[in-house]
Chain A
Amino acid sequence: MEYVNPEGLRLDGRRFNEMRQIVAEIGVVSKADGSAVFEMGNTKVIAAVYGPREIQNKSQKKNDHALVLCEYSMAHFSTGDRRRQKNDRRSTELSLVIRQTMEACISTELMPHSQIDIFLQVLQADGGTRSACINAATLALADAGIPMRDLAVSCSAGYLNSTPLLDLNYLEDSAGGADVTVGILPKLDKVTLLQMDAKLPMETFETVFALASEGCKAIAERIREVLLENTKQLEYRRGSA
């Protein structure tokens, strides 16, 4: 199948280095400490953060840092064919990956004896759910006022028809080419997540990785705009009086 036509356009009309449209909204779950919806094209994820709060399982209590828990699930209606049972291996693995990524950016040492719960649900899946989940979780954590070292952002890139492609959708993702998901801390310039299925030659990998990091930085810009707007809004509504 031809994923990039001779004019250099992809199946959905994007160029190789173009991302899908990003829509982010903060404060969608009123009972949660922090919440956000993050959309990348047709991929849509809702995140809710509870905590830091009293630890529920006393045996997991940590004396020097907070416990971060993450639950990822996919809504049954998120894909065309109805999803199978809950708690499958894919969800467990993704929960773990997201937990580790978020744990790296939260200053957990400031909140001993407490736990932070992150709940993520995929409302629509169209490739790149992993990245969308991390971005949604970052927004929700920032909304909950949890101290963080940096905003973790993530983006994926792939390699098809000997072209590196940014932000794969479901069709491109299932083409069987390499899929590199990168999570970075833009300010500290560190990589917190790097996953790849399939193999790539070293030189190609580097260009794909560079493309994904560029994507991350663009997403970080967007996330910062949304957060700053939200912070200003809250402050002037509260008023200085």
Chain B
Amino acid sequence: MVMRKLQLPLSQTQKVRFERAIERLQSLSSTANSDASVIVTDSIPVNHEDAFLKGHGTSEVDGELLATVCGVVERVDKLVYVRTLRARYKPEVGDIVVGRVIEVSQKGWRVELNFTQDGVLMLSSMTLPDGIQRRRTSVDELNMRNIFVEDDVVCAEVRNLQHDGSLQLQARSQKYGKLEKGQLLKVDPYLVKRSKHHFHYIESLGIDLIIGCNGFIWVGEHVEVRDPMVIDDQKDDEMISSSTKNTGKEQSHIPPETRQSICRIGNAIRVLSNLGFTVTVEVIVETVNLSNSKNIDIHDMLGSEFHVVVAENEAERRRAKRKK
């Protein structure tokens, strides 16, 4: 998670370089946004003659709109809300999330998602490994541990958010489900942006990257997605036999190059998260390339020098982007 003061031993020159990079970032951040930062009980200026809607993080006391959290004021039409920075994940329907199974219960799994409660992935709202659409029987319930057990990392979609705040998940496609052969990283959810794509395949390295909206990021070996809809019924037997072959393969080794790539990407994400920069695929890939071009070993990526280099690079990148 974010270290406000970089807890790394910086040499004098590194300190100066780092401070300069941070100063440049500060000057680059749009000036209009800088005074939109509010903290608890700051009053938010609103035009009381126009109707306005008070959103998350606000409350009205004596006709004055007050912030209840620290963050940035956002205005969308009449809606006024405070976007929090460091806070737990706030789910929206359709979000792609990565989580860890913590309990196998009667009809579903409980999943840790960095939310105020555990998410629930019901057996009925996920495709079975055989890919057939049917009613879930008690036999399926007994076989739940064959699908996920405790401590498995899973990927799913937010199905709905109930009124009492509980969260339901679904995994109705082959692209969701159990994640294996990789690393799970946790960053603050405000560093992840919702976008059209959360599944990424970095072809040059053969790595899958899943950036969950809840700030859990999966870096793992690339797996081909098999879509059961495409497979004909006759091929069913074949598929089952191939899947048994796959389970045999699972014990096989992941090549060391892939492992190194996973670690390199993992460390790139750790550095970005330490510095509090937004985590997107472009930035991650750029950071990985930067470490390669500077010949920095994987274990040196978490050192002070690379942090400073990444900060300088980010300042440069944002400046270039702004010019465009």
Contacts and interface: CB of A to CB of B under 8 A. Distances in A.
Contacts of B91: none
Interface stretch (A89-97, A118-126, A224-232): A224-232
Interface residues of A, number: 46
Contact of A231 (B28, B71, B278): B71
Contacts of B68: 107, 147-149
Contact of A148 (B25, B40, B166, B277): B40
B39 A224 contact: yes
Contacts of A107: 59, 68
B317 to A, nearest CB: 8
B246 interface: no
Nearest to B321: A241
A232 B72 CA distance: 9
A230 B5 CA distance: 10
Interface residues of B, number: 48
A151 to B, nearest CB: 5
B2 A27 contact: yes
Given A33-B88, A142-B39, A151-B40, A54 B1 contact: no
Contacts of B25: 236-237, 239
Given A151-B41, A231-B39, A237-B25, A111 B70 contact: no
Interface in B42-85: 57, 59, 61, 66, 68-72, 84-85
A144 B5 contact: no
A144 B114 CA distance: 12
Contacts of B276: 233-234, 237-238
Interface stretch (B30-38, B168-176, B291-299): B30-38
A21 interface: no
A114 B85 contact: no
23 contacts: A27-B2, A34-B86, A52-B88, A54-B112, A66-B116, A107-B59, A107-B68, A112-B164, A112-B165, A144-B87, A145-B69, A145-B70, A151-B41, A234-B276, A235-B37, A236-B25, A237-B277, A238-B190, A238-B276, A239-B29, A239-B277, A239-B318, A241-B278
> 9 closest Cβ contacts across the A-B interface?
A145-B87, A236-B29, A27-B4, A237-B276, A52-B116, A147-B68, A187-B41, A145-B84, A114-B116
